[in-house]
Structure 1
């Protein structure tokens, strides 16, 4: 059997430039690469006729986050609460959740102030410009 390793964690967005700016500026992520993919092989691989994808890869401590904007754009799904099957979120670790919270831009949408869970973890929920949930957890 072929050995598996994680390559990237993907998030589909409607506006790639706005999403890149948010993740770069809010979480201080490095943009590793930006590129476009199209053609019949790509369309077949992603199961979308005539698809083109604009991609950005960002680095978070050696993990790659892939943001992708598709053309043609699909219909937006209604937001799902985290208790619904198929719901997604991105988890990012910081040394100090309270310090991170204090440095957030004023227009950043948070779900609450930092909280301490029953397991003792300090967490903060943030939404990106398209409503995707990012969990910030104190490492």
Structure 2
């Protein structure tokens, strides 16, 4: 049953909020709808982890119909773990962007501090590559070929 259910946002966990905001703004044109810093009681309640706080933003771009949320968690007394370098582990995720100029967007990702994880692959409908953003989130850049009649 999907009545009354709508997609609201996709969320990526990042190490630091400001470099991630800068990256997604420069590369994909996202602008913050709002930014919250030091949110603690609600984050601890949501996650069930006492002492956890977060800085987060929700961002929009006129080019995409989705809201992108970026969230950087901070735990009292905990050493923050390094971001996972493996996007295939359970719990890891990514967002994918369909682009018109694949090579140009990949170059822009790298120019703004992102890293290419492997190599681009070709598939019957187009090309794709995984990248890691500043802050450790995973994204996919994808170009889909136009369908021929």
Separation (CA, whole Å) in 2 of partners of 1:112 and 1:7: 30
Q: Determine helix, strand or coil for the equivalent of 1:17.
A: helix
Name structure 2 gaps, 5 residues minimum.
145-149
RMSD across aligned C-alpha pairs, in angstroms? 2.5
| 1:12 shift after superposition | 1.6
Cα distance, 1:86–1:25 mapped onto 2, change above 3 Å: same
* Contact 1:90-1:133 within 8 A present in 2 as well: yes
Separation (CA, whole Å) in 2 of partners of 1:22 and 1:116: 26
Task: Pick 1 or 2: higher relative contact order, CA cutoff 8 A, min separation 6.
Answer: 2
| 1:16 shift after superposition | 0.7
State the number of aligned residues. 136
Calculate the TM-score normalised by the size of structure 2.
0.74
| 1:77 shift after superposition | 5.5
Calculate the TM-score normalised by the size of structure 1.
0.79
* Contact 2:14-2:136 within 8 A present in 1 as well: no
Q: Matches of residues 31-70 of structure 1 in structure 2 within 5 Å?
A: 31-36=32-37, 37-39=39-41, 41-60=42-61, 61-70=64-73
Name structure 1 gaps, 5 residues minimum.
none
